């Protein structure tokens, strides 16, 4: 669709308002990190080690990756609206389940069911690509992500404070209430944007090879996966770094933890403003270089033994900035390889990105020990961010081969 879509707020006969798209991704982002400052107290409550409790993040990410393989094709076949309503209802019930769980096993099962809210990540992007062309999609995704970035920036702060005042359960009460509110917003505002449908779900899945054999799709996908991988490694290791090395309480850790979102929101704003002017490949390159520069500086400080809390969390602003520049354009690139498969591309690309994040998040927790300091985490982040630079070079080389520099 190349013309500007008709949008009327709280009118489900028109395309969803941009604030609704922000909420779709925002609640999904909040579910990812709001409870992280409470991990230590949650481990004590359920009587498990921190590494076991951390599975509520890494296995959650892996489940998110798996779900996104199916969300895209299903939404291409049956529509964005019914899939989002179903996912939001399941998320709300699962959030209530985490509060009622009598032991860690049941808690983790409910936590994994919460992963269905990652549907919001997929469908907020797919809906944008349904509505507008490639470069405009990168711009609009940038603005959606900018609003969404406020959530992970504020959520750990709120989660840390709630843990101090009421215990870890308060964060999951907030998630349950957010799910109820999101269901109402989707019901009243999210009109259907997928105007073309395949004849069957089997037919939809059969078109995955068209994406999997595209070098451009993989280039964009890997660039996003490796760049965001630095952030996911941070998610897996930063709670340990803050608690064990910097001796932070949960409220203080929550305050520091959201620093990447400051940069991410700024990067999203710049993407929204300049993606159409400069094109997605230049925006991706700028983002990859920015993330790598931030982590490289932190690596030098860590080698010198100077990576205190201000330096460690401060450099995460550059990591967030780079991801904010890169991710909207990489997503738009993935979705534009086959525009008629926008949902499938969003799901497959998101699955790979989150799956890579799950592995890196788990690796971060395995690499850290009381005697290592933050250096292993920083080294892991540096390697992944460097890899993202090579991926966008690969895309640009492929486009020159196709005569489209």
∠ CA 196-336-61, rounded to 5°: 95
Q: What is the mean pLDDT of residues 279-304?
A: 93
Task: For residue 1, name the pLDDT band (cuts at 50, 70, 90).
Answer: very low
The more confident residue out of 284 and 251 is 284
> Is residue 399 pLDDT above 80, yes or no?
no
Q: What is the mean pLDDT of residues 17-35?
A: 85
> Is residue 149 pLDDT above 70, yes or no?
no
Query: What distances in angstroms separate CA 367 from CA 61, 233, 241, 375, 385, one per listed residue?
Result: 18, 11, 11, 9, 18
Structural tokens at position 17:
């308002």
Task: For residue 105, name the pLDDT band (cuts at 50, 70, 90).
Answer: very high
Q: Which own/partner contact pairs does 194-199 have at CB distance under 8 Å and 24+ positions apart?
A: 194/75, 194/76, 194/79, 194/80, 194/126, 194/130, 194/343, 195/1, 195/130, 196/340, 197/76, 197/77, 197/78, 197/79, 198/76, 198/77
Check residue 48 and give its pLDDT: 87
Check residue 404 and give its pLDDT: 58
Task: For residue 99, name the pLDDT band (cuts at 50, 70, 90).
Answer: very high
* Entry pTM: 0.69
Task: For residue 405, name the pLDDT band (cuts at 50, 70, 90).
Answer: very low
CB 294 within 8 A of CB 241: no
pLDDT, tens only, 54-85: 788 778 878 887 887 788 778 877 888 899 99
Q: Quick one: 18-187+203-401 is in which CATH superfamily? A: MFS general substrate transporter like domains (1.20.1250.20)
Buried b (16+ CB within 10 A) or exposed e, 165-188: eeebbbbbebbbebbeebbebbee
CB 260 within 8 A of CB 316: yes
CB 173 within 8 A of CB 38: no
Largest Cα–Cα separation, the chain: 60
Residue ranges of domains in the chain: 18-187+203-401
3-class secondary structure, 338: coil
Alpha carbon distance, N-terminus to C-terminus of the chain:
24
Task: For residue 194, name the pLDDT band (cuts at 50, 70, 90).
Answer: confident
> Is residue 50 pLDDT above 80, yes or no?
no
Q: Which of 160-174, 351-365, 384-398 has the lowest mean pLDDT?
A: 351-365
Check residue 2 and give its pLDDT: 46
The more confident residue out of 223 and 198 is 223
pLDDT, tens only, 206-260: 666 777 778 888 899 899 889 888 888 888 788 888 888 888 887 788 778 878 8
∠ CA 254-30-6, rounded to 5°: 140
């Amino acid at each position: 669709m190349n013309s500007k879509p008709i949008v009327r707020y709280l009118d489900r006969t028109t395309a969803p308002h941009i604030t609704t798209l922000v909420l779709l991704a925002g609640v999904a982002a909040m579910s990812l990190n709001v409870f992280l400052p409470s991990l230590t107290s949650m481990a004590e409550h359920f009587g498990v080690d921190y590494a076991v409790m951390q599975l509520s993040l890494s296995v959650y990410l892996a489940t998110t990756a798996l779900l996104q393989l199916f969300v895209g094709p299903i939404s291409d076949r049956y529509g964005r609206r019914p899939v989002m309503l179903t996912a939001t209802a399941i998320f709300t019930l699962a959030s209530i389940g985490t509060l009622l769980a009598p032991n860690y096993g049941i808690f983790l099962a409910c936590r994994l069911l919460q992963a269905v809210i990652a549907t919001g990540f997929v469908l907020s992007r797919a809906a944008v690509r349904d509505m507008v062309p490639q470069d405009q999609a990168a711009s609009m995704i940038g603005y959606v992500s900018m609003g969404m970035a406020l959530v992970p920036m504020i959520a750990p702060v709120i989660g840390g404070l709630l843990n101090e005042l009421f215990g870890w359960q308060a964060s999951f009460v907030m998630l349950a209430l957010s799910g109820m509110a999101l269901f109402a917003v989707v019901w009243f505002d999210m009109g259907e944007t997928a105007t073309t449908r395949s004849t069957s779900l089997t037919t939809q899945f059969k078109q995955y090879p068209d994406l999997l054999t595209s070098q451009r799709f993989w280039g964009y996908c890997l660039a996003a996966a490796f760049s965001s991988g630095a952030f996911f490694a941070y998610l897996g290791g930063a709670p340990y770094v803050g608690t064990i090395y910097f001796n932070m309480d949960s409220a203080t850790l929550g305050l520091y933890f959201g620093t990447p979102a400051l940069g991410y929101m700024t990067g999203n704003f710049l993407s929204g403003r300049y993606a159409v002017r400069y094109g997605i490949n230049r925006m991706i390159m700028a983002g990859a270089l920015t993330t790598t520069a931030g982590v490289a500086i932190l690596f030098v400080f860590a080698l010198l033994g100077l990576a205190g809390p201000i330096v460690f969390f401060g450099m995460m602003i550059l990591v967030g900035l780079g991801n904010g520049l890169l991710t909207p354009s990489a997503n738009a690139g993935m979705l534009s390889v086959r525009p008629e498969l926008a949902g499938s591309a969003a799901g497959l690309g998101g699955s790979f990105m989150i799956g890579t994040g799950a592995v890196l998040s788990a690796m971060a927790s395995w690499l850290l020990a009381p005697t290592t300091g933050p250096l292993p985490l920083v080294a892991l982040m540096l390697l992944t961010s460097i890899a993202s630079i090579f991926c966008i070079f690969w895309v640009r080389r492929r486009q020159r081969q196709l005569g489209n520099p």
